[in-house]
Amino acid sequence: MTDKGKNKGEISELYTFIKLLKDGKIYAADENLNRLADDMYLPIIKIRREEKDLGTLDYYTGNSEEPVIKIFHNGSFVKAVSIEEFDIQAVCLYHALMSSDKGTKSIEDIGNLKSFLEDIFVKKVKAGNKEKADIVLEIFDVYTGFKSLEGFSIKSQMGSASTLFNASKSTNFSYKLQGVTDEIMYQVNTIDTHNKFKDRMKLLRDNNVTFEFCGMRSQVFRNNLILIDSLLPTIFAEALKYYYVEGIDTCTAIVEKLCERNPLGYEVNWIYQYKIQRFLAASALGMVAATPWNGIDEASGGYIVVKSDGDIVAIYLRNRNVFEKYLLNTTKFDKPDSKPKRCDYGYVYKNEHGEYFMDLNLQIRFQA
């Protein structure tokens, strides 16, 4: 394995791979990441990895009668490794994750992990799966009796909070500003304080400037939103105002504000929660802003979460209500880099007709 420093998110993926092989099962969780019950779990038959120079590797879980992990390369048996060795490495990785060290960590600093990974043919952290999944499991559904090979996304509570929906220039929403002058534009754009967005918005509010949604920078992203729901562009345009202008950041609080104000005049205001949850689920399962989306989930199994205590649980996509509620409960709006080369937003600009505009950017991150 090339030994560049790994962050806690990357080490969490190794920890998940090794611990799940040792456990041979993964427990189902509710929207608060609590285990549903001690007997509610998914038996794991194998974990599949794609290594660039080797091809397909299948790691079959063991049992009490045969406590080994059997490794197959392109369908042919290669070797067996004791479950005890996987248990030892899982404990080492857990302690590495629990350490207070910030930044990246070298694989060589974690016991004899590097030689162990080489011994089981793991050359890199990312498994290189063809789908957008962090780990691919063959699981046995005890209720239907069927086996299936499904991809899961891995999220860890042990490192920095990860993003659910990544920002770019494509995620900018444009607003026409009423009540702006050249002087106000200059004053806003020269604010460069630590809380510049908050201070810029306060100056605009103090001058009774209003925001009118007028479009999105990316037609691709707009189409992706419309595929989920035709009114999502307008709903997010309102939500972004709550975030940037009023400082409301958690997705639950933003949904509550949408329901309270009901900007689209729905007869039943809980519709906003349904639509926002659909977007969060689509983002979690493969939809991104800059690429045309066909509505097909790329991480078909759901989410695997490495909890802060080292426990690993799954929110299975087949229980979609729980999956979507978990995403709503654990995410918030976030401000990405506003520099022109990055996301390029948050300042007042003027067109050739003398009209004033501002772009606000959408990024959603898991709460710490």
DSSP string, 73-116: ETTEEEEEEEHHHHHHHHHHHHHHHHS---S-B-GGGSTTHHHH
pLDDT tens, residue by residue, 29-77: 999 999 998 888 999 999 999 988 889 999 999 887 889 999 999 999 9
Which of 20, 28, 25, 9 lies closest to 49 in space, CA to CA?
20
pLDDT tens, residue by residue, 114-144: 899 999 999 887 665 555 689 999 998 877 7
Q: What's the pLDDT band for 100 if we cut at 50, 70, 90?
A: low
* pLDDT attached to residue 6: 67
* pLDDT of 3 strictly over 80: no
pLDDT tens, residue by residue, 166-213: 999 999 999 999 999 999 999 999 999 999 999 999 999 999 999 999
* pLDDT attached to residue 83: 96
Token pair of 113 as six digits: 């992990």
For range 84-94, the mean pLDDT: 94
Q: How many CB atoms lie within 10 A of CB 208?
A: 8
- Domains of the chain, by residue range, sit at 8-160, 165-295+323-366
DSSP three-state, residue 244: helix
